[in-house]
Amino acid sequence: MRLKIVQAGERVLRQRARDLTTGEIRGETVRQLIEMMRETMRDAPGVGLAAPQAGLGIRMAVIEDREQYQKILTPQQLSERGRRPVPFHVIINPEITLLEPENADVFFEGCLSVSGLTALVSRARKVVVDCLNEHAEPVHIEAEGWYARILQHEIDHLEGTLYVDRMEPRSLMTTDNYSRFWKDMSLQQVRAELGL
């Protein structure tokens, strides 16, 4: 069953989500929710989906960056982004630490809850995340590149933050125009054209 992805303006996207208890995590309701979130994320398609995006104010997200999503990028673009496939997994009650935040990467980023738009967003290239998995077991994640960006984006949702709060405002554009005019430009060319 596919869930409805709520859009910017819904209160749940602007509130800090609550932690899940061990009992909740191990319960049937959360197990079913994880499956519905996975199906919804894949159907969208997206590389992550946080529970608030499904209208639920709980600290849980699903993440998966499938190889097929990366085929639209050139080898150079994949390398610049540090993008590699990430298998499906669940993060619950995550705590994130940004490593070397001064060494941030800037790339276009979109969101299933801000449909049809994209903008340049600066994100730390490396992060550490401590969380629980779907079995309520502790997990320690060390991530870099695009995977680190996905984690930051999804954990932001759990804090009530959208990428538009972090974007370079002059870079906001429709995804259609991004595809038509900007996607094959270097970051330096984009900055020059947009006057950034």
Query: Which residues are designated catalytic?
Result: 154
Residue pair 58/20 in contact by the 8 Å Cβ criterion: yes
DSSP string computed for 16-64: PPBPPPHHHHTSHHHHHHHHHHHHHHHHTT-SEEEGGGGT--BSEEEEE
Percent composition of the chain: helix, strand, coil (DSSP 3-state, to 5) = 40, 30, 30
Q: Single out the residue of 168, 53, 179 nearest to residue 116, CA to CA.
A: 179
